[in-house]
Chain A
């Protein structure tokens, strides 16, 4: 903690950051309520849909088994959710709690931005040159990318994940990583600090979104598979009673199909991958200036490489028969785990030339 007595710019920054954390925590709660309520809404919608489906079935005179009924219903819901995902800002469903969540996230973001900028001004340089500052700016970018993406896709169902992640990372940062402002060490005095670290954080933000979507994709795929099994079972038993199989959290019923989630995750992952590639190259150029070699399998370099290869694997998997779908989603999840590992464990406990965390 910095000295609190004279109100320095840096202690203002810390205050702003803590406020942001508190607001993000509230946003997390709002988003969580939203997910819970979506579940309830989904059940109502389903009943309504079931009614119309039954009517239609009557019209279609003896048409369709229970199986096609349940599956069609699921497909219809998923298609509707996919339309909702792509709906322009003005035509989105009025989810009150999601709106509260987003508003709070924007507010938290503003405080967070303030904290980051004041830290930068106090330090007289870009606010990403030690672990505390990387984390501050990195999480800021995660929120920024999330909010930016909301203009294009209604991804508010990822709100709990994003705000939760940011509360944990930023909270941990403020508690454990706080470091006083000290002048930059010579190797950090480089334009590459500005570029390399910023782009890496941007890539991380995109990977985070891809990760969240991949997790949902897996959940949704499991639900789809269970519904298919349930439908088959019903067909066999030839009953048309409602499905009672457990298919995971109910809010899944308001999300697009696993396939749609996958293709969206993929889009974020490839953007992230491009930025990561750039990070790798910029880092090598910098290493060549600072350490006299562009590549030396320093621990941090190793992990950057491992992450790059994992995401290359993910992109490949998407194009490989037998791997598209759930298997490739696991690669996205493993990739992001490696990103977080690289940022936390490697920075703190692994020995190497990248000794710039500022922690002792």
Chain B
């Protein structure tokens, strides 16, 4: 069958086949009362009802005006751009939330500038008044925008597709065909039958349809793609959901840090945390008192001679877990694989060596004996730690220790570590005696020593050599204070130094009440976005007008939102419809003129 081609005539000169529908084209059909007034597809307010001459406004009038401004597309856009700009400084200046040490350092490096920046909240950008103002306004605008649109959309979904416009030829896409009737056929009947068929096909293609027969003409009006608007609303509403989940969930969220040395046990109570940040609604006394024991911390090293030699990885903390009134269990914490326990998640944040150190007084009595966590200073685990012996010696003694898992002497005589594993461990101490300053009641970090009230007896500028120990060795403290032993923790008879020093892990324990909800809303938002961006929403009309012994068939389409495929869709539909008419009545109505027909209206 030779298919008649007819040109898609374009409704308005301005939009040459573009997706943009010019609202005026279909009159009220395209106007969308509850889209924001400055939506590109809305009726231009200058020519529309909202004239530019504002009447004198009362308070209510001003409020309404202000609300309309706030919920306009333009405001939303400006606020979005402001939000983007406002987020940037937080990446240029260290933030207290992400990098507290960086902030401290910034104050040291820029003593004049830092207080000024601090006054502008530049170290807390994301909780600053100005940042908050932007996103709160944005979300007020969002809610103010979404609610009326939801109402409108709800109505639209229940309403019938709109009346067929009188002048279909003025729409974005329009085809016209002339059908010739058979001799014995009534043109009106043929027209009705054609529209019946179109109605059926449109419905099958997922359109909502309504018939508008009247006067001489028969027509079907169809609309599809309501899901586009639904998606848009779901997307925007889900953003509100994300914000609420973060805001409310944050109140029930806590994070705490702790350190566990191999062989030691930690209990989930406030006492055992080294730091704890609870949300507003967290009951600190209601933590589940489970216990974690670090049985072993394993890791592997890239062997010397290979690329990336010395790099450590495959960190695993092997834990025993114990709940009150329950059997013990085991668990593992690895990077990327937190341990889930009692609704908490336990993360591996760091690890290091905790050399076991024993101090004896002049009489040989043990006055200190425990593993001391040392903080790693470089990739080869050169580590630093502090031993404080407040009681039992003639004077208070403080020692700053340096630990080298694989020690090597530099040309200047200083030691360094050349490998992270325990190949040739060495521990050195600077020794101080005097007042540790821990009796004043001011809490002091276990990782730092304040030597202000102390005299240095060994190492550094003291004139005396620092103490040097290998695992298992004991040396005298200066001035006959006593002895220090670097205990070898390896099992009896072990060769080499493996396991001679205990390791520790630093763990972070989290309860995040918000994360799941945030994820749910984020996924919903994405689904909504996909629908909103890719489901075309369009209207289609088919009208059949009997004209003597022929029927004029018109097909028209109108995009509502971006719809690059509209042309093709109308074209395809017209062809399929015409083909079906020809098939159904082989000898009956068939397209009359193979050439383009002029649009008649």
Q: Which residues of A contact B (CB under 8 A)?
A: 75, 78-79, 82, 180-187, 189-190, 257, 259-260, 263, 266-267, 270, 273-274, 277-278, 281, 284-286, 288-299, 302-303, 305-306, 309-310, 312-313, 315-324, 331, 346, 350-353
25 A–B contact pairs at CB < 8 A? A75-B16, A180-B308, A182-B311, A183-B308, A186-B315, A186-B336, A263-B18, A263-B19, A273-B533, A277-B525, A281-B526, A288-B515, A291-B347, A292-B510, A294-B518, A306-B88, A309-B87, A313-B77, A315-B533, A318-B562, A320-B74, A321-B40, A321-B42, A322-B74, A324-B40
Asked if B73 and A319 sit within 8 Å, CB to CB, the answer is: yes
**Considering residues A181, A277, A285, A346, which has the most beta carbons from chain B within 10 angstroms of its beta carbon?**
A277
Asked if A277 and B526 sit within 8 Å, CB to CB, the answer is: yes
B52-60, B96-104, B209-217, B222-230: which lies at the interface: B96-104
- Specify the chain B residue showing the minimal Cβ separation from A290: B336
Chain A residues closer than 8 Å to B349, beta-carbon distance: 292
**Once bound together, how far apart are the Cα atoms of A352 and B353, in whole Å?**
25
**Once bound together, how far apart are the Cα atoms of A298 and B525, in whole Å?**
23
Chain A residues closer than 8 Å to B308, beta-carbon distance: 180-183
Shortest CB-to-CB span from A65 to chain B, Å, is: 16
Question: CB-defined interface of B15-53 with A at 8 Å, one 1/0 digit per residue?
Answer: 111111000000000000000001111101000000000
Asked if B336 and A316 sit within 8 Å, CB to CB, the answer is: no
B78-86, B152-160, B175-183, B199-207: which lies at the interface: B78-86
Given contacts A290-B336, A294-B515, A305-B87, contact A79 B16 (CB under 8 A): yes
Instruction: Let me know if B530 is at the binding interface, CB within 8 A.
Output: yes
Asked if A189 and B335 sit within 8 Å, CB to CB, the answer is: yes
Shortest CB-to-CB span from B544 to chain A, Å, is: 31
Asked if B38 and A303 sit within 8 Å, CB to CB, the answer is: no
Instruction: Let me know if B165 is at the binding interface, CB within 8 A.
Output: no
Chain B residues closer than 8 Å to A291, beta-carbon distance: 347
Given contacts A82-B17, A297-B126, contact A321 B562 (CB under 8 A): no
**Considering residues B98, B347, B534, which has the most beta carbons from chain A within 10 angstroms of its beta carbon?**
B98
Shortest CB-to-CB span from A305 to chain B, Å, is: 6
- Specify the chain A residue showing the minimal Cβ separation from B334: A186
Chain A residues closer than 8 Å to B274, beta-carbon distance: none
**Once bound together, how far apart are the Cα atoms of A353 and B335, in whole Å?**
14
Chain A residues closer than 8 Å to B77, beta-carbon distance: 313, 316-317, 320, 323
- Specify the chain A residue showing the minimal Cβ separation from B522: A281
Instruction: Let me know if B288 is at the binding interface, CB within 8 A.
Output: no
**Once bound together, how far apart are the Cα atoms of A274 and B73, in whole Å?**
21
A-B contact count (CB 8 A): 164
Question: CB-defined interface of B286-318 with A at 8 Å, one 1/0 digit per residue?
Answer: 000000000000000010000110010111000
Asked if A297 and B95 sit within 8 Å, CB to CB, the answer is: yes
Shortest CB-to-CB span from B280 to chain A, Å, is: 17
Q: Is chain B's interface secondary structure helix, strand, loop, or mixed overall?
A: mixed
**Once bound together, how far apart are the Cα atoms of A134 and B518, in whole Å?**
28
Instruction: Let me know if B90 is at the binding interface, CB within 8 A.
Output: yes
Asked if B510 and A313 sit within 8 Å, CB to CB, the answer is: no
- Specify the chain B residue showing the minimal Cβ separation from A324: B40
- Specify the chain B residue showing the minimal Cβ separation from A79: B16
Closest 8 CB pairs of A and B: A182-B308, A186-B335, A292-B347, A320-B73, A309-B84, A299-B91, A302-B91, A313-B80
**Considering residues A266, A284, A297, A351, which has the most beta carbons from chain B within 10 angstroms of its beta carbon?**
A297
Shortest CB-to-CB span from A270 to chain B, Å, is: 5
Instruction: Let me know if B508 is at the binding interface, CB within 8 A.
Output: yes
- Specify the chain A residue showing the minimal Cβ separation from B239: A312
Given contacts A182-B307, A186-B336, A309-B87, contact A316 B40 (CB under 8 A): no
**Once bound together, how far apart are the Cα atoms of A312 and B255, in whole Å?**
32
**Once bound together, how far apart are the Cα atoms of A352 and B93, in whole Å?**
11
Given contacts A292-B255, A296-B97, A321-B40, contact A186 B314 (CB under 8 A): yes
Chain A residues closer than 8 Å to B76, beta-carbon distance: 316
Asked if A187 and B336 sit within 8 Å, CB to CB, the answer is: yes
Asked if A298 and B74 sit within 8 Å, CB to CB, the answer is: no
Asked if A189 and B42 sit within 8 Å, CB to CB, the answer is: no
**Once bound together, how far apart are the Cα atoms of A42 and B3, in whole Å?**
35
**Once bound together, how far apart are the Cα atoms of A169 and B372, in whole Å?**
49
Asked if A306 and B84 sit within 8 Å, CB to CB, the answer is: yes
- Specify the chain B residue showing the minimal Cβ separation from A256: B16
Chain A residues closer than 8 Å to B512, beta-carbon distance: 288, 293-294
Shortest CB-to-CB span from B519 to chain A, Å, is: 7
**Once bound together, how far apart are the Cα atoms of A324 and B15, in whole Å?**
13
Chain A residues closer than 8 Å to B102, beta-carbon distance: 351
Chain B residues closer than 8 Å to A294, beta-carbon distance: 512, 515, 518-519
